[in-house]
Amino acid sequence: MDHIDLGLLIMRLAFGLSLAYHGLNKVIGAGGLAGTSGWFGSLGMKSPMLQARLAATTEILSGLFFACGLLTPFAAGAMVALMIVAIVTVHARVGYFIFLPNGGWEYCAAIAFVAAGIASTGPGSASLDNALGLDFNGGGLAIALGLGLVGAALQLALFYRPQSVQTKTSA
């Protein structure tokens, strides 16, 4: 393993395991799925329990797949989609910087860009993709961005209704 492969492994482990743990927190953290569901409902998401389950499952699985370097462009695409939805529904209105009250979109963007970058380069030699002989022939970035953009657009179009939150608070 050379220094580039080591760097890719470190980034995959750091970002992938962190995202998986974030998803696990939605399930077993304070309030569990019920608390996560309530939070999704407060954002204006339709079917908040479904959203809680989908978000937790996607974060856990994409994070673990990304960390292992398994089907990396698809894991990265799921991560990009998650971060776009997080930015649109929560963080964009706060501003860029994460240290702002309620957290800006800085960290979500970093996760999305790292995922896209690794999808572009491939996961490196210390990955299950490499062990299984999976090579996406330089198309990893297109897969990740396509899946991420389409997935986020569908999620937002089908489930995000922020005006219903404004109606509830003004009533």
Q: Where are the domains of the chain?
A: 3-170
One digit per residue, the tens of pLDDT, for the chain of length 171 reads 999 999 999 999 999 999 999 999 999 999 999 999 999 999 999 999 999 999 999 999 999 999 999 999 999 999 999 999 999 999 999 999 999 998 999 999 999 999 999 999 999 999 999 999 999 989 999 999 999 999 999 999 999 998 644 444 444
Q: Residue 134: what pLDDT? A: 96
Grouping H, G, I as helix, E, B as strand and the rest as coil, residue 2 is coil
* Structural contact between residues 7 and 122, judged by C-beta atoms closer than 8 angstroms: no
**89 closest CA partner among 18, 47, 41:** 41
For residue 146, give both structure tokens.
């396509």
pTM, to two decimals: 0.92
Looking at residue 102, its pLDDT comes to 85
